[in-house]
């Protein structure tokens, strides 16, 4: 059994990417989308989330620890692959490479994003509300940094969901894998819209 | 094609396992329907490079010459494939030949594919029927199952899928697609099925099935068209179920 630790960690890595991290991402972008409906709506939702009982325990168990584990093992996985899109330019090989590239982007983006928002809120420097995000995103370079970060996250989630289905042996046949590619593409477009639309709302107030 | 009398080959050579690789160019007289192997045979007969210097013959591995043994795999114009089935007329010139980079080079284009045979041992890709007395005939196999299992049995351990796989390399211990598919083949066999959990546990050991990153290059390059990614997904499902059985307990766990 001891030799099967690697198998266990890789399966845990795959599971955590969807439950809870993927679910958290979608929920996060849904709540952000309230920014499109107005500042008060967003602030009410942000306050509700911020004032959940045992919020730090919830955040640690559902967000911090899973993401930390997924990121650390993920970086290891990224650097043990030999990328070959030039020789083997197949669609899935590109997805494989982009999945790992967005993973590295996300380590940087999430570290920055958490420092700028959650850590600052924790230190009491800022309050979690609409104007915090408005202040960050009114700078054009930060706006584009967030667009890249959000789209990377959504791609990593949507394509990761496709691999999750293979890793857990749910989609076996080429046909089911092809159909799940399209399903994941729709998820990418839909969740990506949610995320980018709310960034535009924060940055430009429209 | 009378005017095109020569075919140019740029071959990555290496004098021994620890020697540094170098490139050498050869010009081989064109013959109709020639393949990479017949060109290499031509070089062996007359080992003179394009500069007119006499050199050592290029070494390569081959056996059946009809794409069923798997010995003559090499990287031809950037893609790993069988050299016996690589027709010169269908290749862009100059034709570049390299040894497969996933495996240790023995000499020139010959590589050592031993890790593939070690992988077959890890997943126990055989059916243990030896005993001290006659056990009689085994259970019958449904015809439908035999048909898809036959496709898996075409694997010739050629190593092309490992060469194309981004996760089979020096810094990873991933077993590669071939052995995963073989575990599925022997688990599909009615007698082999009796030891299915041994093979699944082999796949779950360090460097087993978990190293797959779903780049799916293997299924694109397999010269025998084996549904390798279907096998990997099927074994993913089977190993997951086996892992739950191992942990929570089951009469069929061991």
**Chain A: closest CA distance from residue B204 (Å):** 6
The string of pLDDT tens digits covering residues B80-132 is 999 999 999 999 999 999 999 999 999 999 999 999 999 999 999 999 888 88
Contact: A7, B204; criterion CB under 8 Å: yes
Q: Which of residues 84-113 of A touch B (CB under 8 A)?
A: 84, 87-88, 90, 92-93, 95-97, 100
Q: Calculate mean pLDDT across residues B143-167.
A: 97
**Chain A: closest CA distance from residue B169 (Å):** 7
A54: left (phi over 0), alpha (psi -120 to 50) or beta: left
Contact: A81, B243; criterion CB under 8 Å: no
Domain hosting residue A144, numbered range: 2-204
Q: In which band, very low, low, confident or very high, does the pLDDT at B35 lie, cut at 50, 70 and 90?
A: very high
- Residues in Cβ contact with A5 at an 8 Å cutoff, skipping those fewer than 6 apart: B206
**Chain B: closest CA distance from residue A17 (Å):** 14
Collect all residues of chain B within an 8 Å Cβ-Cβ radius of residue A5. 206
The CA distance from A32 to A50, in Å, is 13
- CATH T-level fold of B6-111: Ubiquitin-like (UB roll) (3.10.20)
Give the predicted TM-score (pTM) of the model: 0.94
- CATH T-level fold of B114-248: Fumarate Reductase Iron-sulfur Protein; Chain B, domain 2 (1.10.1060)
B162 interface with A at CB cutoff 8 Å = no
* Contact of B132 with B49, CB cutoff 8 Å: no
**CATH number of domain containing A46:** 1.20.1300.10
Contact: A84, B239; criterion CB under 8 Å: no
**Chain B: closest CA distance from residue A91 (Å):** 9
Collect all residues of chain A within an 8 Å Cβ-Cβ radius of residue B235. 169
A182 interface with B at CB cutoff 8 Å = no
Please state the ipTM of this predicted complex: 0.94
Confidence check: pLDDT of B252 > 80: no
**Chain B: closest CA distance from residue A172 (Å):** 5
Q: Calculate mean pLDDT across residues A177-188.
A: 98
pLDDT for position B203: 97
Tokens describing residue A143: 């706006």
- Placement of tokens 């090989």 in the chain: A93
Domain residues of chain B, as ranges? 6-111, 114-248
What's the burial of A91, exposed, middle or buried (CB within 10 Å: 0-12/13-18/19+)? exposed
H helix runs in chain A, sequence order: 5-16, 23-32, 34-37, 39-50, 55-59, 65-79, 91-114, 120-122, 130-137, 140-167, 174-204
Tokens describing residue A114: 């958490």
pLDDT for position A1: 52
For chain B, the average pLDDT equals 94
Mutate to test the interface with B, among A10, A15, A82 (most CBs of B within 10 A): A82
What's the burial of B254, exposed, middle or buried (CB within 10 Å: 0-12/13-18/19+)? exposed
Domains contained in chain A, number:
1
pLDDT for position A17: 97
The CA distance from B217 to B204, in Å, is 22
B77 interface with A at CB cutoff 8 Å = no
What is the pairing mode between strands B95-98 and B105-107?
Answer: unpaired
DSSP assigned state of A127: -
Closest residue in chain B to residue A15, using alpha carbons only: B240
The string of pLDDT tens digits covering residues A98-136 is 999 999 999 999 999 999 999 999 999 999 899 999 999
Collect all residues of chain B within an 8 Å Cβ-Cβ radius of residue A7. 204-205, 208-210, 239, 243
């Amino acid at each position: 059994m001891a030799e099967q630790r690697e198998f266990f960690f890789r399966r845990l890595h795959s599971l955590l990417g969807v439950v809870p991290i993927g679910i958290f991402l979608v929920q996060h972008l849904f709540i952000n989308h309230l920014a499109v409906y107005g500042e008060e709506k967003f602030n009410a939702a942000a306050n509700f989330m911020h004032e959940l009982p045992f919020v730090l325990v919830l955040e640690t168990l559902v967000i911090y620890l899973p993401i930390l584990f997924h990121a650390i093992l993920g970086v290891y996985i990224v650097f043990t692959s030999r990328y070959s899109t030039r020789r083997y330019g197949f669609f899935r090989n590109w997805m494989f490479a982009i999945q790992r590239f967005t993973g590295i982007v996300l380590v940087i983006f999430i570290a920055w994003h958490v420092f700028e928002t959650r850590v600052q809120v924790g230190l009491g420097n800022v309050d979690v509300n609409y104007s915090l995000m408005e202040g960050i995103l009114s700078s054009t370079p930060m706006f584009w940094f967030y667009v890249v970060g959000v789209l990377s996250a959504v791609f990593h989630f949507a394509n990761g969901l496709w691999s999750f289905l293979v890793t857990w042996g749910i989609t076996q046949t080429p046909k089911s894998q092809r159909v799940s590619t399209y399903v994941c593409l729709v998820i990418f477009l839909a969740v990506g819209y949610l995320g980018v639309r709310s960034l535009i709302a924060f940055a430009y107030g429209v | 094609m009378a005017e095109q009398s020569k075919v140019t080959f740029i071959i990555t050579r290496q004098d021994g396992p620890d020697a540094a690789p170098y490139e050498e160019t050869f010009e081989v007289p064109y013959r109709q329907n020639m393949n990479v192997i017949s060109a290499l045979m031509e070089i062996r007969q007359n080992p003179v490079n394009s500069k007119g210097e006499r050199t050592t013959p290029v070494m390569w591995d081959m056996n059946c010459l009809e794409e069923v043994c798997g010995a003559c795999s090499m990287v031809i114009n950037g893609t790993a494939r069988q050299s016996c089935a690589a027709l010169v007329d269908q290749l862009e010139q100059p034709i570049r030949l390299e040894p497969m980079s996933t495996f240790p080079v023995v000499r020139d284009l010959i590589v050592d594919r031993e890790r593939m045979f070690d992988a077959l041992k890890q997943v126990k890709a055989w059916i243990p029927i030896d005993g001290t007395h006659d056990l009689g005939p085994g259970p019958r196999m449904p015809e439908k199952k035999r048909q898809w299992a036959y496709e898996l049995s075409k694997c010739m351990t050629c190593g092309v899928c490992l060469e194309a796989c981004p996760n089979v390399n020096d810094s990873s211990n991933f077993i590669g697609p071939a052995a995963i598919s073989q575990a599925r083949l022997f688990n599909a066999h009615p007698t082999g099925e009796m030891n299915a959990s041994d093979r699944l546990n082999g796949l779950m050991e360090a460097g087993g099935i978990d190293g797959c990153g779903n780049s799916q290059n293997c299924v694109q390059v397999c010269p025998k068209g084996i549904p390798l990614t279907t096998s990997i997904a099927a074994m993913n499902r089977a190993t997951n179920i086996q892992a739950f059985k191992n942990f929570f307990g089951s009469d069929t766990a061991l």
